[in-house]
Amino acid sequence: MERPEQYSWSSQPEYIGKSRECEWVEYSWILSTFGTDLKTAKKKYQQYIEEGLHTDTGSPTKDLYGQIILGGKDFIEKVKRMLKGKSLSSEIAERKRLESNTTPDDVIKIVAEVFGVDKKEINYKGKANTARKAAIYFMQRYAGLGNAEVGELFGGVHYSAVSKASARLRKDMAKDKYLSEIIQRIDSHFKT
């Protein structure tokens, strides 16, 4: 399927005037954002869709916070305040993020302390920097930050590299019992 109007459940044909409008779809609200003249609005809407088909906008969920919130920092904080004290479903695996008061500085301090390194060392890039991978891992889990935000804290690392660093740490832990014990020790700091 190449075109949105080819999808059987799409309302695209109605929006662009290729099909009869359904009674239960509110077309005017969307079309009004493209102009007051219906014919012009439909044409501009079609142009907008065409541009979107040829533009890589990335995944809208890359900045998803705690599996359920998509928005800016102010919005995220507002939602977190609304959720404070509420019981969250166990189906939300990232609910810790929504309940967390751990700051990025807390994570770096604890990781540096347990690994016995200076906090500055955690920012050095390199595959051998296990303390850095651990800090990234715990930022994701407890600081309530999305991958893009974690990446920014670590010198502009791409959000996908943040996921990869965490995955590498988990893989290393499976092979290295001593590393696994260190990570568990750090983890216990955040769970208390």
Delimit the domains of the chain by residue range. 4-53, 100-191
User: Where does residue 183 rank: exposed (0-12), middle (13-18), buried (19+ CB within 10 A)?
Assistant: buried
pLDDT at 134: 93
pLDDT at 181: 92
pLDDT at 149: 87
pLDDT at 100: 58
CB count, 10 Å around CB of 109? 15
14-37 pLDDT, tens digit per residue, is 888 888 888 888 888 888 889 888
CATH code of 100-191, in short, is 1.10.1750.10
Report d(CA 150, CA 137) in Å as an integer: 9
Q: For the chain, which ranges sit under pLDDT 50? A: none
Q: From the centroid of its chain, how far is CA 130?
A: 23
